[in-house]
Amino acid sequence: MKKLVIIVLSLLILVGSFTFAGGKQEKATTGQVTVKFWGWRAQDEAVWKKVQAALQAQGKNIVIDYSTIKPTEYDSKLSLSLQGGTGPDLFLTRRLPGKRTQGLIDAGYIQALDGIVDFSHFTPTTLGFIQSGGKTWGVPFANQIVGIFYNKDIFDKYGLTEPATWGELLDICKKLKSNGVTPFMVPGKSAWALAMQHAMVGVSFPGEEWIGKVIRGETNFMDPKFIELNRMLNDLKVYYQKDFMANDTTDMSAGFAMGQAAMVFYGIWGGTRWKELNPDFHYGYFPVPPKTAKEKPHVYVYMDGSYGLNKASKNKEAAIEILKFTATPEYGKIFSETTGEMTALKDAELPKDNPILLEGYKYANTIASKYIYWVGSPFQKGNPTVYEILREGMQAMYLDKITPEELAKRVQDGISSWYKPLQK
Amino acid sequence: MVAAKSIYKRYSFLWMLVPALAIYTMLIAYPFVSSLALSFFKWPGIGPKEYVGLANYKNVLTGYMSREFYRALGHNVIFFILSWLTGIIPGLIFALFLSAGIWGTNFFKTLFFIPNTLSIVIVGFLWSLLLNPQWGFINQALKIVGLGVLAKPWLGDTTLALPTIILVNAWRSMGFFILTFLAGIVGIDREMFEAARIDGANEWQIITKIIVPQLIPIIGTLTILKVIWSFNVFDIVFAMEGTQAGPAGSTDVLGTLFYRIAFGGLGSSDVGMGLGATVVTLIFLIVFPISIIYVYLVEKRTKAG
């Protein structure tokens, strides 16, 4: 009996202390709302500090608790937390079409934002990457542009200019190599970057119209033009750094920023890292040139992702305030200035001291490819995706395990196994 | 009433098992059973599960996943064979040297064991730096001593990448094998060595006729442990080659294959928890019988001891 009394008393004290602690916390945070925000982008932490300050300056007492999760683990952690009811109020979502974001939409974890957020500062193309079923499921944050980045000092030293054709690019490579300079630094170990390289060359040759034909099923990946593209890439590897298949993107950034190679195939987001590694680094950008002067170059531009709202958020009002702010040109300016990336907002003021960003905007608005076959394309909707096939396929081709023809066959066989227009 | 009380008393020890059983059920049995159940469903990790029967097993064993599955399984087998050769044999040789009481034995014991105290992620990161083809220490050192021809893209070559990872793994686990063999050697009756010496046996004969036969049970146990570790390997491959286990899948093992299927890699458009659970179940079916043999051998040795 005595024991029972002690146990009951202990439990009462325990419960009482929790209640007291809860009450104390409530009192301490009166008027202030903390919004939990998850993302895979570590570079955004500074952005959210600035957003928090801007909101607080407007008299909104909101604290943004932003956490970065490793990109490879992000999606599974997010979906598990949303299912368990412990998910963040706001979170980064991948672009559509894609099964990850669509899965969250179908399961009812994301709230549609039509009528809540003013989307008038976005182009329909940008919004299209986060719309499905006639609804908008997030606020787009960035458009990414990929292409060839080059070391301006090396180009100036050897009197080189941006090439207009693939042939001119090869001439640049020959001249650099004959002078003992490595023309390209390529991260062969980072398979995803090789798939990206393939796709960014593909929009200029065979080009956007050809990609449109493949999407419609009017030709397929066994087309001689696609095989030729594979061969062009494979032939270019003589101009890559020695043993490039053992280098990843970290090595590539270090080597490029330190002047060990003249060019890289990469995305505009790389600039922040290059400048961190070498503040005196001068670099430029040009779209991958087409095969002949008769064709026009195109750039691969894609919407990177968006900010989604947890339908079950307990801090919805504050979370919506943040989302509304991220749809304003003021936010676009903060984002571009802080990250050096292209904001998804069409009318944001651009940082004048970032010529690459201004150039990226110019290209994105003038020569962005209408059709693509990498992320954001119809070839990502089934299994295997074109991305998955190209990742391993490009490594295999660069290692001479398969020929350019065999790479084309892998893509054709893989995609036609589920993509109806290519099953003819 | 008295009989019931007596039965209750006799089996009251069962209550003592409840805490351990509850923890075991919660942490081992439940996740395993739920994973097994999941292997019969199609589930992207969110939303409703769709029952597909044995379709996942068909896809993995004979369908569109079979090429990757058997390639990964083959790499696990290679991992076992090479890690046995590079772990157990050198471990035994070093242990024999250290047991001879040469100068600095304790220093070398510590030196060999230090890598074992490092986390695999750190080991993977350190060796990735050392093996960098342009500015890594290994290739630079080879060039300096005039062996530049041997400088290779260690982690970027389909033939070299897996053996390189296995060697790094052997470097890390060497201390464990040495200490285990040393413990075995110390346990051998010293009188046997003295008797052998009186009979005119030399050191080589003592090693081959006394020490090694006495260490056979330990070699057996370590071999079984190696099988279990080799079929469960994930971390060192992940740390050195990422989830893609490149180049061109040449280091892909069942662990990385499972990770890619279940959680998806960077930019992957699909995740399949059911298919991933199928791979896990198949790994379990390989490892479980071997684990039973291991437990049996350990029990037998304990009883014999």
pLDDT at A117: 97
pLDDT tens digits, one per residue of B2-19:
667 778 888 888 888 999
Least confident of A410-419, B72-81, B265-274: B265-274
Using DSSP's 3-state secondary structure scheme, residue A417 falls into: coil
Chain A residue whose CA is closest to B160: A246
Size of interface A-B (CB pairs under 8 A): 116
pLDDT at B106: 86
Whole-number Å distance between alpha carbons of A405 and A1: 84
Return the closest-CA partner of residue A42 out of A7, A63, A19, A66: A66
In degrees, to the nearest 5, what angle opens at C-alpha B257 toward C-alphas B254 and B260? 150
CB A149 within 8 A of CB A283: yes
Whether the predicted pLDDT of A26 surpasses 50? no
Q: What domains are defined for chain A?
A: 34-140+306-354 (3.40.190.10), 144-301+361-422 (3.40.190.10)
Domain count, chain B: 1
Least confident of A234-238, A359-363, B157-161: A359-363
Averaged pLDDT for residues B239-261:
91
pLDDT at B28: 86
The per-residue pLDDT of chain B, averaged, comes to 90
Contact list in A for residue B267 (CB cut-off 8 A) is 192, 195, 375, 387
B271/A75 Cβ within 8 A? yes
Whether the predicted pLDDT of A93 surpasses 50? yes
B270/A387 Cβ within 8 A? no
Q: Is the peptide bond before B247 cis (omega within 30 degrees of 0)?
A: yes
Using DSSP's 3-state secondary structure scheme, residue A188 falls into: coil
Whether the predicted pLDDT of A5 surpasses 80? no
Return the closest-CA partner of residue B269 out of A267, A145, A382, A393: A382
Residue B74 lies in a domain: yes
Residue of A72, A189, A417 lying closest to B246 (CB–CB): A189
Residue of A103, A381, A391 lying closest to B47 (CB–CB): A103
Whole-number Å distance between alpha carbons of B234 and B222: 19
In residues, how long is chain A?
424
Whole-number Å distance between alpha carbons of B139 and B149: 9
Whether the predicted pLDDT of A315 surpasses 60? yes
Whole-number Å distance between alpha carbons of A119 and A114: 8
CA distance B36 to chain A (A): 19
Residue B103 lies in a domain: yes
CA distance A74 to chain B (A): 9
Residue of A83, A188, A260 lying closest to B247 (CB–CB): A188
pLDDT at B305: 59
Residue B135 lies in a domain: yes
Residue B37 lies in a domain: no
Whether the predicted pLDDT of B266 surpasses 50? no
Averaged pLDDT for residues B278-291:
92
Secondary structure (H, E, C), chain B: CHHHHHHHHHCCHHHHHHHHHHHHHHHHHHHHHHHHHHCCEECCCCCCCEECCCHHHHHHHCCCCHHHHHHHHHHHHHHHHHHHHHHHHHHHHHHHHHHCCCCCHHHHHHHHHHHHHCCHHHHHHHHHHHCCCCCCHHHHHHHHCCCHHHCCCCCCCCCCHHHHHHHHHHHHHHHHHHHHHHHHHHCCCHHHHHHHHHCCCCHHHHHHHHHHHHHHHHHHHHHHHHHHHHHHCCHHHHHHHCCCCCCCCCCCCHHHHHHHHHHCCCCCCCCCHHHHHHHHHHHHHHHHHHHHHHHHHHHHHHHHC
Sequence-ordered list of residues with C-beta below 8 angstroms from that of A353, at least 6 positions apart, any chain:
none
Whether the predicted pLDDT of B50 surpasses 50? yes
Whether the predicted pLDDT of A13 surpasses 70? no
Sequence-ordered list of residues with C-beta below 8 angstroms from that of A213, at least 6 positions apart, any chain:
A219
Domain with residue B156: its CATH number is 1.10.3720.10
Residue B128 lies in a domain: yes
CB B226 within 8 A of CB B79: no
Chain B residue whose CA is closest to A79: B46
pLDDT at A24: 38
pLDDT tens digits, one per residue of A228-283:
999 999 999 999 999 999 999 999 999 999 999 999 999 998 998 899 999 999 99
pLDDT at A399: 96
The per-residue pLDDT of chain A, averaged, comes to 90
Residue B84 lies in a domain: yes
pLDDT band at A383 (very low <50, low <70, confident <90, very high): confident
Whether the predicted pLDDT of A2 surpasses 80? no
Phi, psi of B34, rounded to the nearest 5 degrees: -70, -35
Least confident of A19-33, A132-146, A170-184, B99-113: A19-33
Least confident of A42-51, A275-284, B113-122, B265-274: B265-274
Which residue is associated with the tokens 């896990």?
Answer: B280
Whole-number Å distance between alpha carbons of B93 and B181: 9
pLDDT at B298: 79
pLDDT tens digits, one per residue of B161-184:
999 999 999 999 999 999 999 999
Mutate to test the interface with B, among A82, A377, A391, A417 (most CBs of B within 10 A): A391
Least confident of A24-28, A58-62, A159-163, A368-372: A24-28
A246/B155 Cβ within 8 A? yes
Sequence-ordered list of residues with C-beta below 8 angstroms from that of B167, at least 6 positions apart, any chain:
B86
Whether the predicted pLDDT of A9 surpasses 70? no
Residue of A107, A245, A385 lying closest to B269 (CB–CB): A385
Contact list in B for residue A255 (CB cut-off 8 A) is 134
Domain extent for B197: 50-304
Whether the predicted pLDDT of A191 surpasses 60? yes
Whether the predicted pLDDT of A16 surpasses 60? no
CB A379 within 8 A of CB A385: yes
Averaged pLDDT for residues A124-128:
88
Contact list in B for residue A416 (CB cut-off 8 A) is none
B243/A189 Cβ within 8 A? no
Give Cα separations from B298 to B87, B221, B224, B287 (angstroms).
20, 7, 11, 16
CB A282 within 8 A of CB A124: no
Residue B22 lies in a domain: no
A247/B156 Cβ within 8 A? yes
Chain B residue whose CA is closest to A243: B153
pLDDT at B271: 60
Contact list in B for residue A75 (CB cut-off 8 A) is 45, 263-264, 271
In percent, how much of chain B has pLDDT > 70? 96
Return the closest-CA partner of residue A288 out of A397, A190, A377, A206: A206
pLDDT at B260: 86
Return the closest-CA partner of residue A232 out of A396, A373, A404: A404
pLDDT band at A172 (very low <50, low <70, confident <90, very high): very high
Long-range contacts at A55-64 (CB < 8 A, ≥ 24 apart): A55/A321, A55/A322, A55/A325, A60/A318, A60/A321, A61/A31, A61/A32, A61/A33, A62/A32, A62/A33, A62/A34, A62/A35, A62/A318, A62/A321, A62/A322, A63/A32, A63/A33, A63/A34, A63/A35, A64/A34, A64/A35, A64/A37, A64/A322
Residue of A72, A381, A387 lying closest to B243 (CB–CB): A72
Residue of A82, A246, A384 lying closest to B153 (CB–CB): A246
